[in-house]
Amino acid sequence: TVQAGEVYGFLGRNGAGKTTLIRVLLGLSKPDGGMITMPALKTVGFLPDVPSYPTWMRAEEFLHYCGSLSGLTGKLLHQRIDMVLSFAGLTGENHKIVDFSRGMRQRLGMAQALLHAPELLIMDEPTSGMDPLARLRLWQYLRQLASGGVGILISTHYSAEAAQCDRVVRMRAGQVI
């Protein structure tokens, strides 16, 4: 159970089952057994381990499109886009997404996941491809989100990142160890 205001981590190597568990939580894969209870998906933000984008768009266009899919419109949509672009350090980045570095694409994925102000944020290896300063900023922002009541579920390979979580589950071969 991920509580409001808690950062809950999954720690494990590649193949441990972290991404599979996240896919099951989001209804993208069927579980082999057990039971899962999730809030309405419209209250969940998700950052996959390797985000994919329409590369011909610019960041602001992409976020406008995603926001409209979430039901955001008008002034609120523009305010949210400005806020998440600022958080992601992408304000003023006007070139097409195809020209973004791996770290910039990861930060855009975080902006997209936060755009609709989710109650639960699920992130699959969010710091992959980020430089050390971007990682530090991400963890500072995650703490701000948690202090504001957002529940956060994060998977990672890194023990140092897992140590920043409130609770951690270590996984191996699809099992909690």
Is pLDDT of 3 > 90? yes
Residue 162: per-residue pLDDT: 93
Residue 131: per-residue pLDDT: 83
Q: Which of 163, 156, 170, 168 is nearest to 125 (CA)?
A: 156
Average pLDDT over residues 35-60: 91
Residue 34: per-residue pLDDT: 84
For the question of whether the overall pTM of this predicted structure is more than 0.85, the answer is yes
In the block, residue with structure tokens 């979430």: 70
Residue 96: per-residue pLDDT: 96
Average pLDDT over residues 54-60: 94
Amino acid, res. 70: S
User: pLDDT: is 103 or 19 the higher one?
Assistant: 19
CB 39 within 8 A of CB 172: no
Residue 91: per-residue pLDDT: 94
Is pLDDT of 65 > 90? yes
Instruction: Convert the pLDDT of each residue in 112-164 to its tens digit.
Output: 999 999 999 999 999 887 888 888 888 988 999 999 999 999 999 889 999 99
Is pLDDT of 79 > 90? yes
- Please, which residues bridge with residue 12 across strands? none
Residue 50: per-residue pLDDT: 86
Average pLDDT over residues 8-25: 93
Three-state secondary structure of the chain: CCCCCCEEEEECCCCCCHHHHHHHHCCCCCCCCCCCCCCCHHHEEEECCCCCCCCCCEHHHHHHHHHHHCCCCHHHHHHHHHHHHHHCCCCCCCCEHHHCCHHHHHHHHHHHHHCCCCCEEEEECCCCCCCHHHHHHHHHHHHHHHHCCCEEEEEECCHHHHCCCCEEEEEECCEEC
